[in-house]
A and B are shown apart, each in its own frame.
Chain A
Amino acid sequence: MAATSPEPSLSAFSTAAYTPSTTAYTPSTTTQATSSSTSTFNFPTYTSFPPFYTLQPNLTTRARQLELWSTLVTSYCAHNRIFRLSLSSLPTDLFNNTHIHRSLKPADIRTVLDHMSKPESGPRIDWVPSTTKGEQSSSCYVYWKTIGEWADALYGWVDDTGQKGAVLTVYELREGDAVRSKDWRDMDEGMLRKVLNALVKRGKAQIFGQEDNAGVKFF
């Protein structure tokens, strides 16, 4: 903490009390991978609290801070239907608040995501293994619903629509007309695979073929 020369005059002393903004912070640009929802995300008040963007040295305070970040990231992604975060192209308003000129440092963003990837945190995110050996992962899936919950939802829909026994393509499951109103539409393919694998493990589905031509049969 480098010292700046202190100004002894009282006029330099700010007497205005900090009054946090009570209006919802509306982002000017949005860069989401998937289509954004029609309503604006309601940023909780603590996103206007400057220290929120500094990784707290006190571990008790830090634990609470990480909890708040975890909640924010999860609800933000749920609202904007973001299934995957890429560190190189993060949404501009998630880890920054331009109104108060504060932003979470990249290293601290990683700390937050690491915290969210722990089992005791859900986990709420899952790092996508880097394609380059030895390199740190630079993107992660966000589980605003857990893989298990997605599996239940997907299978439930298949069951309700009488499609058990039929073979559906991954494309249909992700982007088909029939799933227009479903939560998992446009889900990141890698994540959808995880969901399908979970169903395979449960004995509820089987996957045929590879990559783009893969088909899934539900039992």
Chain B
Amino acid sequence: MSSTRRGVGLNAFSNAAISSEQYARHGQQLRSNHAEALANQLSVFQAALHNFSLTHAKDIRSNPNFRAEFARMCNAIGVDPLAGSNVKDIRGAGGGAGGVWAKMLGSSVNDFYFELAVRVVEVCRETRGENGGMIAVSDVQKRVAKGRSGLVGGGMDATEDDLLRAIESLQPLGGMFKVQVLGGCKFIRSVPKELNPDQAKVLEVIQILGHVTVSMLQANLDWERARAITVIDDLVADSLVWIDSQAEEPEFWSPGSMHEGG
């Protein structure tokens, strides 16, 4: 740097100009070196990741801990393991990033989540008559792990995280499956009809207490009787609750506890 200190006057000006050009060129050189090194590193990494996912495809499918770690790693480097599966153009630098990952990770990861999504849809369909289309995620998890009735094996060991990811992938189906939180519990809603705030509130209360009566709603939510009855009637009409008429006052239960422990 001492060279810039000398040269006062016209000489100094041209020196500075030449130096900055030199620096600019040097900087550019560094950048391209770095870029090249990075590109090399990246392609080595890509190849390694691809091989990794191929050799461990079985583990990714069958081991939820492994899968969770794998997903965590992907998220850490800013990549969604499912991204790009729908992308048609996987070439090109622009929107091709996702597709490149999908290629590297192999079809095993995608297959797992798509199969899981199919199972989720099946479970929702099978239980709709019983629960009106609202089923707890934990419930779905148990049923998916059990496998299809009548068939030996084939149960999928999925974490809640996996299930939520699988449901996300169903979005292209037009929003038929949504996750809703009631009383701290996550539910999957598979019917198009949305719950109005009153209905959601009552379901939440039932979720916490197991069942409600009209009196309980009046007393604790400070609702008029008519309002409570209207909401309850709606929930019954949508087969979201079951009625117990052998109690002192009719009780309304969530079907979620019907098969617990079984």
* Interface set of A (CB-CB < 8 Å, partner B): 1, 3-4, 6-10, 12-22, 44-46, 49-54, 56-58, 60-61, 63-65, 101-103
Contacts and interface: CB of A to CB of B under 8 A. Distances in A.
Given A3-B225, A63-B129, A20 B214 contact: no
Q: Which of A8, A10, A15 has the most CB of B within 10 A?
A: A8
A17 B207 CA distance: 8
Contacts, number: 100
Given A10-B220, A51-B253, A54-B246, 20 more contacts: A1-B249, A1-B250, A4-B215, A4-B249, A7-B215, A17-B210, A18-B253, A20-B257, A45-B260, A49-B257, A49-B258, A50-B211, A50-B244, A50-B246, A51-B242, A51-B243, A58-B236, A58-B237, A61-B239, A64-B130
B113 to A, nearest CB: 30
Interface residues of B, number: 34
B1 to A, nearest CB: 74
B209 interface: yes
A58 B250 CA distance: 15
Nearest to A105: B246
A46 B209 contact: no
Contacts of A103: 246
B129 A64 contact: yes
A210 to B, nearest CB: 44
B219 A58 contact: no
A13 B258 CA distance: 23
A60 B248 contact: no
A49 B131 CA distance: 14
B253 A49 contact: yes
A7 B219 contact: yes
B254 to A, nearest CB: 9
B164 to A, nearest CB: 24
B129 A13 contact: no
Nearest to A4: B249
